[in-house]
Amino acid sequence: KIDQIEHAFSARLFIQLILRGGQHDAALLEGFNEPAPEFSLRPSATWLLHQFHFPNALKLEFAERKVTKMGADDLHMILRVDGTFLQHFQLHDFPYDSQTLQVHLSSHCANEGVAPVRFKWSPFTVKLQRPTHFALKDVWELDKP
């Protein structure tokens, strides 16, 4: 749903973050997928997963939040959310305007210190799933990132 008047849009997101070599770190495996993980000087992957938030979310529901073991080495932190996100629309060229819809993801952790979090971005990792199921495909043109 896209609401130009309220400057908001709704989206269902699947986010998968990878901790390379995470299965070899006992601290990351501690309390594996506990519902309310506690902080320690070496926090677990589950605790780290619960530190992610969406600053531009007006409404947010976590459909899934879990850590899984993948292969022999890695841990994957999985977030599946349904939300409504704030977005300022530039409507100067309406109805021929073009909009970029952004979802902001951040962590309550610092990028230094005991439990640093650094995002490593790759433009090849973002995918639009099932654009043929987009209800307004006859009105909106979807671009790949």
- Tell me: the pLDDT tens digits for 35-91? 767 777 778 899 889 988 999 999 999 999 999 998 899 999 999 999 999 888 777
Question: Strand 8-19 vs strand 2-3: parallel, antiparallel, or unpaired?
Answer: antiparallel
Q: Is the pTM of this model over 0.85?
A: no
| Angle of CA points 108, 55, 12, to nearest 5° | 110
Scanning the structure block, which residue is given the tokens 């992957």? 45
On the CB side of 95, CA atoms within 13 Å amount to: 3
